[in-house]
Chains A and B, each alone.
Chain A
Amino acid sequence: MCLGIPGELVGPAEEHADLAVVDISGVRRRINVALLAGEDLKPGDWVLVHVGFALSKISESEAKAVLDMLLGTGQAYDDEIDALKGSDIT
């Protein structure tokens, strides 16, 4: 729950102006990007996602480093990805 997971922005979501589609380790889900309203987000940008909300915009190299580290956490990361798979935010 406290893990920030890097996601790559795919594009805006139709359901609500605050939502966008991200790719997180191959899982595509809608997340809320309203906390980064000032950031001028574009497809291909990376964000750190916490419980369905993008909390920080990060560089691609930072995203890769965080992912490497998360993959090493094993169960904690798997649990987070499993939880994410069950998420269907609108």
Chain B
Amino acid sequence: MSAGEQLLSIRNLVVRYQAGRRHAGAPPAVAGVSFDVGAGELVGLVGESGSGKSSIAGAILGLAPVGSGEVRLLGQRLGGRSGAAVRRLRRPAQLVMQDPFDSLNPHMTVTALVEEPMIVHGLERGRERRAARALELLDAVGLRPAHDFAARRPHELSGGQRQRVSIAAALAAEPALLIADEPVSMLDVSVRAGILHLLDAMCRERRMGILMITHDLPTAMAFCDRLLVMRHGHVVASGTPGEIRDQTLDAYTRELINAASPGLGVAPQET
């Protein structure tokens, strides 16, 4: 990557799913969206289900059809290629999914789950080096002491611990960009901050870029450097959390702000 280039650069992206007869003329899932994510930056993509957030992630990962516009990862344009070439191009972008309960193969040990991406991408050759690297990653995501976790299977872990395994597995592919799709929404409030602080540390310490997809505005406000609010496939507001909170005129965004944690953050009423 040459100086000044973004990790991820999206320009006028349109995602349109194959229109069945029933959906002929349906609006595109993503209708011309542009934004960048730089190294060491945590960018939030906020919106309700169906607003197009996951379609953007899908376009980056090659899971959703790019109708027009472009997606560049480390300066390389994605799309129009197939097979091994595109897998190589996409490796720098890894996904952490919402549901740690079904994204992990229940039959595999924690080490095997973390080693698998190394094998798929041909990254660490040799059993011992892979095992050592897996332990390093488990330690990095806070599963300590790592060797206590190595031989366990997903059902022997709590939800927060499983999500840490998912993050370790994503890191095993040595990504420059992590796409976290609702990484904490399935978890108890009590463990969410741990995962969010971990992602934050990845960003600051490893200079990784993170695109965090969430419908939870307060969380995005607290953790993201910048955020984009999406509605019906369009970005309706973007900026730093402070700009969004204090300056956004977009009515939908204001509605989201007002709907967030209605019962807290206000002085208790006199009774």
Q: Do A and B bind each other?
A: no
A-binding residues in B (CB < 8 A):
none
